Chains A and B, each alone.
Chain A
């Protein structure tokens, strides 16, 4: 056994295959959150190059103007949109909004909290992120 408490660890936490789209959204929320945090730190570091004057700013613009820069920026756009839309869904859920009402459960016990409203919210977040990403790619590579 890997440890005394037999915990699944990070591997179990990020495994999205067993519990449906809600667990996929849980994983994407964490990945996009970490990605945006990394982007935020990188963004502050890179924009601080403007203190080096015109040369520093041009170097920075060159970095994000290439193909790799555009791809990274489009991924950032997708992460931002997914994190925002899914975040609104999760915040509403955390307040008890849209999670259903307590009632005597009937077999086969479909959980009311995993209802179609939240599933629509998750799929909407994924679709909107994909659309925003494609729009970003079109704008950046279309020039």
Chain B
């Protein structure tokens, strides 16, 4: 620590060079922060899904509906705590570009199964239960369209006409739910299954997918197998998996976003390693006579090694902290605006921790060769080089 001032002074020797190196490292970490946050936003579904929830879908495809009778049958499977279901509505508000997720659900039950993620004020829940055409919407979507409690909103379904032939369904916003984890999705629009099922003109008595809450997560594999066994060889065979697997497999449908961002970041960091390493090597080369004088004054080899390493660490950490900080500012500034399109665009702790680890690694890697060079200096040769 006592050398800190000395190291700091060394950084100021060529201010422009130090500044440029720090800036390029900052950019690398800014990219790291942004891209990792983007990558995790896609993987978030899996991370936030409950251990005790299973998802049952039609074996042929997620879009095939299941008969309602499946719900009651699953209720009787040993170890199942509660069962609910949801159906995709595929609607938009005013313009086909304004798409968001709407689900027809059993309101209270759905919210109670997802109580670890969603919260709705009790008085709004009561009001919702009383209004047949009532709906509850997530904060992000409410903000996106400027909806308030009490608003009447027409939603146009791209799939389901009502019995009167109209594709426009009227809803009243009775509540706005918040999410308990900033990264969770607050875009969904929930409305009563009863209203939906009675009013739509086809596919009545069917549900989109079934959500099963199990009493003991350790029993999930057995319960999943039992559920699928119930409907084997029926006209609507099922595929049941833990919500985590389901979310992970759905995220994979987009392709390996994580892998792509890793490739890009790999290229970025490799470049930065070379740029910063090269700068470090050069600044040590220029200082060889000085280092020799330090040694003549009695500084040990290890002290010289440490000093050079500390310098590169300092550069890397200043740049890294700048970049990550900037990334944090950007993501937290943007997360509300993009929440309606890309929920979970929030920089998590894991990103920050990985960032700090990378900073230290980058600092050590760029400094190690010049540091070793400094350590191995022979005083006589180095002084004579001038």
Q: Is chain B found bound to chain A in the same assembly?
A: no
